[in-house]
Chains A and B, each alone.
Chain A
Amino acid sequence: MPKCTINGKEIEVKEGTSIIQAMTENGQRIAHYCWHPGLSVAGVCRLCMVEIEGNPRVQIACNTMVTEGMKINNTSEKVKEAVKWGLDFHLINHPLDCPICDQAGECGLQDQYMEYGIYDSEMAERKVKKHKVVSLGDRIVLDSERCILCSRCVRFTDEVTGTKELGIFNRGDRSEIGTFEDRPLNNKYSINTVDICPVGALTSKDFRFKQRVWYLKDGDTICTGCSTGCNTKVYFNREGIFRIKPRFNKEVNGYWMCDEGRDLYKVFNRENRQIKALKKLGHSFEEMLPGAAAKDIFKNLSTSLQGASLVVTGQLSNEDLQKAFSFFTGALNSKQIYHWKNNPESWSDFDGLLLRGDKNPNTKGVEKCFEEFQIQTRFEDLEAALEQSQISTLVVMVPENIFAYPDLSAKLKHFGKAKNLILLSSSLVSLEDVRGGAHCWVVPMKTTIEKSGSFINHNGLTQFFKKVTTLVSEALTVDQALTLMGGGEVTVEMPHSSSETRFLVDYNHRSDQVKAEAYKKNEFSFKRGTL
């Protein structure tokens, strides 16, 4: 365990730690582009310069290991001069198209320029022209002029995915990133290259020009795309969610996530959500508010709810499952709870990196609940019973990630054979699908990012997530819906008592907003005749 001194602070690090690792792990700032903790060391941007006592030359921190008693400094004038010039070398051929660059606002060049630069460039020559707006694959667009050739994306495809689609072609200042002919960048993790690109050279076709990043806020959550349970960050504003990025978790996903998981923001946005509740009695349809619909279910079916059947999927959080199981086994005195599994034959699939065949985030949690409440049912039995019209009331927790349930529409038609069908759904349910049943209610529900809870991933790891934002404010949580269906009343807590709603304050309000108390302190009133 060598000890070293970095900028006057004594630090003890593990054997074989590079200086840049030691610095970032201890919260010290150091400029860098090509170094990424999840990739090998390239040492090409030459920006992470540090001065080591006893060495006259500045050195790169990413390829220098910490040794006992090393005295490291990256705040001296010598280092600052070196970084300033390193930055200038990056910028001389970089086009100044920040206004139309998607990276502006989270760009490494902008950040470092504000910290080390603020100079007038002496470059008076013509900049090198390269290819712009090159489509590298289904999801990625390349702008070679913006590229600073840090080779992070190349190393990502070499080392992480092993697909090796990208390479650096040509040499000198004519170098460009590119793909080989007929081998586009179409792997399942391609958008990670956009995340790790420190400049705006690689942009995602999906997010391109949708929003400027400074209009977006972010919140932490868990991906619901499969049983891996990658830790993610969602970027949203009042218009909805615009993208999802991975969040580092050593035990689950490292620095990466798959492209499939990034598409999931679409299921959270209003255009794919059930916003109004639907009620169908016989042949008459009625639209109503979600809360009213839940109350209406109680009013119409209070007795026939007893012994009702419930269909759950692995898309529900542990807390929701607990509530539903205890409501059904307790108040409704029913043990007819069925686990709806989508293509379970491919559940054990794994691509070796992150993607798993089980497209539910909480299958383990469902199994645990079945064990806890000692329920042993088979989904096939329910289907058979439906076929023979033996089910009177069926409550279905419709999965929120409808992409993972391609047979959803057919299944809903099948569920429609029950006498009373209650669909608790966050995603848009087409009226066509529920035409079969005699009576039907569709109640809009909240999605994962609109509530707090926990998932158990494939590994048995329980991960908690907090509410990020509200997109459909009128939708109900499972707790609220079941309480109202059971004849209870729901009280909405005010945003200062519970810890859950404090979260809402954190994310939905700007930190620089003046609090009401502060207003009160400044309060004074004008009186006629005084100044």
Chain B
Amino acid sequence: MSVVQKTGPSSKWYLPGIVVGLGITIRHLFQNLMNPKKMPTINYPEEKYEYGPRFKGNHVLTVKKDGSLRCTACMLCATNCPAQCITIVASEHNDPTVEKFPINYEIDMLRCVFCGFCEEACPVDAIRMGPEWQTPGLNGSQFNYDIERLAYRSNLKGGVLSIVDDDERHKSGI
């Protein structure tokens, strides 16, 4: 950041500047009093702002039709993550068509920079960034989101369905 310094005799005449500035403030005060609907500020937290659907907010882990996690624990998101905030522990699944799945998936929200690289790296649409952005917490540990919170938090109503379907994939023979 730099500070612009005007030097010269005119810079000593600050009174006109104050008058112009106050004029703008007062104009806006009256505009807002006359027409409160056009006011750009909202009364948070009673009113909430809706971001667009492409807003990169809190992460969501998608699920398959049977409700289990879509994630295959390939760790491409963790590899790609510039903040290194994703921790995955993979394990062998009993079902040989699934083969690999995460037994632990954690995102440290305090380290996350919401860049969306995880979403881009994911080959199976297992992680998305949703429109939620209010993430209060009382202490640090509450910002370590686990599978329960990433995939099955109450407002997701049982999980978001992934667009990648194993059955269809197998049927098409790829």
Contact = CB atoms under 8 A, between A and B. Distances in A.
**Touch A–B, Cβ below 8 Å:** yes
B99 A212 contact: no
Nearest to A531: B2
Of listed A96, A98, A100, A126, residue having the most chain B CB within 10 A: A100
A237 to B, nearest CB: 13
A529 B3 contact: yes
B2 A209 contact: no
A127 B173 contact: yes
Contacts of B5: 529
Contacts of A126: 172-173
B70 to A, nearest CB: 12
Interface in A168-214: 208-210, 212, 214
A127 B124 CA distance: 20
B99 A100 contact: yes
A125 interface: yes
A215 B90 CA distance: 14
Interface string B91-110: 11000110110000000000
* Chain B interface helix/strand/loop/mixed: loop
Nearest to A214: B79
B124 A99 contact: yes
B174 A127 contact: yes
A122 to B, nearest CB: 14
Interface string B139-172: 0000000000000000000000000000000001
* Chain A interface helix/strand/loop/mixed: loop
B96 A100 contact: no
A219 B32 CA distance: 69
Interface in B48-74: 72-74
Given A209-B90, A214-B79, A530 B2 contact: yes
B113 interface: no
Given A209-B92, A209-B100, A100 B174 contact: no
B76 interface: yes
A99 B72 contact: yes
B78 to A, nearest CB: 8
A125 B173 contact: yes
Contacts of A99: 72, 74, 76, 123-124
A214 B123 CA distance: 18
Contacts of A530: 2
B75 interface: yes
Contacts of A210: 90
Contacts of B100: 100, 209
A528 interface: yes
Given A529-B5, A531-B2, A212 B75 contact: yes
A529 B97 CA distance: 64
Interface of A: 96-100, 125-127, 132-133, 208-210, 212, 214-215, 528-531
Given A96-B174, A127-B173, 15 more contacts: A97-B99, A98-B74, A99-B76, A100-B73, A100-B100, A125-B173, A126-B172, A127-B174, A132-B96, A132-B99, A209-B73, A209-B91, A212-B74, A528-B3, A529-B5
